[in-house]
Amino acid sequence: MVDVPLGHVGTAPEADSGDIELYHPHSWVTKYVFSQDAKIIAIQYSLTALTVGLIALVLSWLMRLQLGFPGVFSFIDANAYYQFITMHGMMMVVYVLTALFLGGFGNYLIPLMIGARDMVFPYVNMLSFWVYLLAVLILVASFFTPGGPTGAGWTLYPPQAILSGTPGGQDWGIILMLVSLMVFIIGFTMGGLNYVVTVLQARARGMTLMRMPLTVWGIFTASFMALLAFPALFVGAVMMLFDRALGTSFFMPAIVEMGQVLERSGGSPLLFQHLFWFFGHPEVYIVALPAFGIVSDLISTHARRNIFGYRMMVWALLAIGALSFVVWAHHMYVSGMNPYFGFFFATTTLIIAIPTAIKVYNWVLTLWRGDIHLNVPMLFALAFIVTFVNGGLTGLFLGNVVVDVPLSDTMFVVAHFHMVMGVAPILVIFGAIYHWYPKVTGRMLNDALGKLHFWVTFLGAYAIFFPMHYLGLMGVPRRYHEIGDMAFVPASAHTLNAFITIVALIVGVVQLVFVFNLFWSLRSGKPAGGNPWRATTLEWQTPETPPPHGNWGKDMPVVYRWAYDYSVPGAADDFLPQNQPSAQPVQGTAHG
């Protein structure tokens, strides 16, 4: 598996990907604005997503202020509160995490890691970003419309999402949300097709599927899943838009709105939930699988050790991806669907824990007998394992149908999904930015600021979300503008809420250190060289850093080995780049 006979590579037909005539930008605008270069598009995606992330962060502050200090901030009334939680949730899940992992990391890393010059459809790739930006603008515009954005919760359950008892339900809010989602999905489809086809068609000579870095496997699998899952959300959005704007009854049974009987009948609110979660559960893994892949590469590189059980890791990714399409109704155990579905969905949901656990074992077994460099990307990777294991294990409570009954719709759920698909993937995003920033800019991020950012973010996030589970166990419901007086909620729980809010504010503020570091290091960071982490994968072997348009200069890379030849016995260095033919180091290889 590791060694491939050189003769085989030598007789492979000439790669035609290297000879494709690339478009050549002629002006500043076509080079940096309407760029067709995947790397520029990646940066555009990433900066846009990070900006949306900062907006979502501020929204989370506002909702935490209300929860921690109810009644103190009078401008956060129930309307505003529900608008904040809705926009925070939708922004983070779709417009930040999905866009950043696939549009950001996918665009930057896929062509470089598989040894291609660019995505296979560069023009469509460019359109993908601009359509995404349009979706973001439509979403943000809803803050400035009469009635404000929708406050239906990020799950947008009808009928309340389109009725007058909900903020934005009978105003522009819900319409703009649905239109924005539809536009986002159109933009994503352009990008997603690119990622999948590029991985399948444009790999360098010798880069077999089973030699690809797990980062590429994660992004590839997630993109494929997203292409299958997002259409369900798309049709759900179209149907709800028709219900809202044209008076159809897809999701509307005979119903009363504020005492008035409406002219609707025959629709099913549960139908929307099935469509939403058929998208929504794979969506969790669309965010998680790229994080799984990236963190595998961070751990392997910084522990100077091959990822343990590579083949098992690939099969586990694919198994999780496939299983994630048959678990969606575990979000609906108490939705009033046929309760017998509970047996099936609890079983599939708990089965998915097995391939997921295998991944965790292989990460920690990669650390075992490694040579662990505790630099900032590695710290984030370790923190990912802690938070992901924590959040994954609480998923075993919620997936196990009867255990879900008391916990569903409480703060336990909020704590669980933030830990597992908020904190954990975001820690990977940070780790990945610290890891690849030197390739993108040619300079290292500041280490001291990075460590400050890491410790406050990791320990703070854990202090926010770990105790929150116990509020839910006690029975404190989620999505409550104010808990008020509940006999079973002791005063100490309110103290805990205030504590969580204060920590959340601190963790939020420290993100500004990270933003500062991003800009400061651009000019003042330590020059990185071409391969500062002494990594094996192709993106670190480009002739120039940052890689120019076309990535590889004159000669396309040829791949001779898998992505994890670290500390190979007998080799002179503790890493063997994928494009290095023999175990002996080649003298004078140019690493810009």
Partner 1 sequence: MAVALILVLIAVGSVAFHLVSPWWWTPIASNWGYIDSTIIITFWITGAVFVAVVLFMAYCVYRFRHQPGRQAHYEPESKRLEMWLTIVTGVGVAAMLAPGLFVWRQFITVPEDATDIEILGQQWQWSFRLPGPDGQLGITDARLVSPDNPLGLSREDPKAQDDIIIEGGEMRLPIGKPVKALLRSVDVIHNFYVPEMRAKMDLVPGQVSYIWFTPTRTGTFEILCAELCGVGHSHMRGTVVVQEQSDYQAWLQDQQARGFARLTSPAAQ
In the region spanning residues 335 to 364, those forming contacts with partner 1, defined by CB under 8 A, are 335-336, 339-340, 342-343, 346-347, 350-351, 353-354, 357-358, 360-362, 364
106 vs 431 by CB, closer to partner 1 = 431
447: amino acid identity, one letter: D
Task: Tell me which of 200, 210, 396, 590 binds partner 1, using CB under 8 A.
Answer: 396
Q: How far is the CB of 256 from partner 1 (least distance, A)?
A: 5
Q: How far is the CB of 513 from partner 1 (least distance, A)?
A: 19
31 vs 304 by CB, closer to partner 1 = 304
d(C-alpha 507, C-alpha 333), whole Å: 34
For residues 85 to 124, the per-residue mask of contacts with partner 1, x marking binding by CB under 8 A and - elsewhere, is ----------------------------------------
Looking at 20-28, 191-199, 210-218, 248-256, which segment touches partner 1 (CB under 8 A)? Answer: 248-256
450-487 in b/e form (b: 16+ CB < 10 A) is beebbebbbebbbbbbebbbebbebebebbbbebeeee
203 vs 416 by CB, closer to partner 1 = 416
Task: Tell me which of 269, 422, 438, 460 binds partner 1, using CB under 8 A.
Answer: 269
How many residues bind partner 1 (CB under 8 A)? The answer is 114
Site for partner 1, residues 25 to 64, rule: CB under 8 A: none
Q: How far is the CB of 398 from partner 1 (least distance, A)?
A: 10
46 vs 356 by CB, closer to partner 1 = 356
Q: How far is the CB of 346 from partner 1 (least distance, A)?
A: 6
196 vs 401 by CB, closer to partner 1 = 401
The answer to whether 23 contacts partner 1 (rule: CB under 8 A) is no
Classify the C-alpha dihedral 297-298-303-304 as positive or negative.
Answer: positive
Q: How far is the CB of 568 from partner 1 (least distance, A)?
A: 6
Question: Rounded to 5 degrees, what are φ and ψ at 40?
Answer: -70, -40
**Which of helix, strand or coil describes residue 29?**
helix
Q: How far is the CB of 115 from partner 1 (least distance, A)?
A: 22
Tokens of 121: 């459809």
394 vs 517 by CB, closer to partner 1 = 394
The answer to whether 536 contacts partner 1 (rule: CB under 8 A) is no
167 vs 577 by CB, closer to partner 1 = 167
Site for partner 1, residues 445 to 464, rule: CB under 8 A: 459, 462
24 vs 369 by CB, closer to partner 1 = 369
339 vs 553 by CB, closer to partner 1 = 339
Task: Tell me which of 23, 121, 325, 466 binds partner 1, using CB under 8 A.
Answer: 466
122 vs 236 by CB, closer to partner 1 = 236
Classify the C-alpha dihedral 333-337-343-349 as positive or negative.
Answer: negative
d(C-alpha 24, C-alpha 182), whole Å: 32
The answer to whether 488 contacts partner 1 (rule: CB under 8 A) is yes
187: amino acid identity, one letter: G
The DSSP-derived string for 190-218 is HHHHHHHHHHHH-PPBT--GGGS-HHHHH
The answer to whether 9 contacts partner 1 (rule: CB under 8 A) is no
Task: Tell me which of 79, 145, 170, 248 binds partner 1, using CB under 8 A.
Answer: 79
- The pairs formed by 21-27 with CB atoms below 8 angstroms and a separation of 24 or more are 22/117, 22/118, 22/122, 22/549, 22/550, 23/122, 23/123, 24/549, 25/549
The DSSP-derived string for 81-121 is HHHHHHHHHHIIIIIIIIIIIIIIIIHHHHHHHHT-SS-S-
Task: Give the relative orientation of helices 447-474 and 491-524 as an angle to the nearest 10 degrees.
Answer: 160
d(C-alpha 169, C-alpha 152), whole Å: 8
Task: Tell me which of 28, 74, 75, 402 binds partner 1, using CB under 8 A.
Answer: 402
Q: Which residue has the tokens 């989602």?
A: 181
Write the CA distances from 98 to 103, 108, 121, 586, integer angstroms: 8, 15, 20, 40
The answer to whether 580 contacts partner 1 (rule: CB under 8 A) is no
The answer to whether 568 contacts partner 1 (rule: CB under 8 A) is yes
The answer to whether 444 contacts partner 1 (rule: CB under 8 A) is no
Task: Tell me which of 12, 371, 512, 526 binds partner 1, using CB under 8 A.
Answer: 371
The answer to whether 484 contacts partner 1 (rule: CB under 8 A) is yes
d(C-alpha 104, C-alpha 429), whole Å: 10
184 vs 363 by CB, closer to partner 1 = 363
Site for partner 1, residues 273 to 332, rule: CB under 8 A: 303-306, 308-312
The answer to whether 490 contacts partner 1 (rule: CB under 8 A) is yes
Q: Which residue has the tokens 């343990």?
A: 308
Site for partner 1, residues 169 to 228, rule: CB under 8 A: 169
Asked, as a colleague might, if the bond just before 546 is cis with ω within 30 of 0, I would say yes
Q: How far is the CB of 337 from partner 1 (least distance, A)?
A: 8
117 vs 305 by CB, closer to partner 1 = 305
Triad 41, 43, 47: Cα angle to 5° = 120
Measured in whole angstroms, how far is the alpha carbon of residue 246 from the centre of its chain? 34
319: amino acid identity, one letter: A
For residues 141 to 180, the per-residue mask of contacts with partner 1, x marking binding by CB under 8 A and - elsewhere, is ----------xxx---x-xx--x-xxx-x-----------
260 vs 587 by CB, closer to partner 1 = 260
The answer to whether 581 contacts partner 1 (rule: CB under 8 A) is no
CA dihedral of residues 515, 497, 284, 135 (deg, nearest 10) = -50
Measured in whole angstroms, how far is the alpha carbon of residue 152 from the centre of its chain? 23
**Which of helix, strand or coil describes residue 527?**
strand
Q: How far is the CB of 435 from partner 1 (least distance, A)?
A: 17
Tokens of 186: 């159109």
d(C-alpha 437, C-alpha 442), whole Å: 7
451 vs 549 by CB, closer to partner 1 = 451
Task: Tell me which of 189, 408, 537, 542 binds partner 1, using CB under 8 A.
Answer: 408
DSSP structural state of residue 566: B
Strand partners, 445: none
Is residue 580 within 8 A of residue 586, CB to CB? The reply is: yes
385 vs 432 by CB, closer to partner 1 = 385
Comparing CA positions, the residue from 434, 433, 506 lying closest to residue 464 is: 506
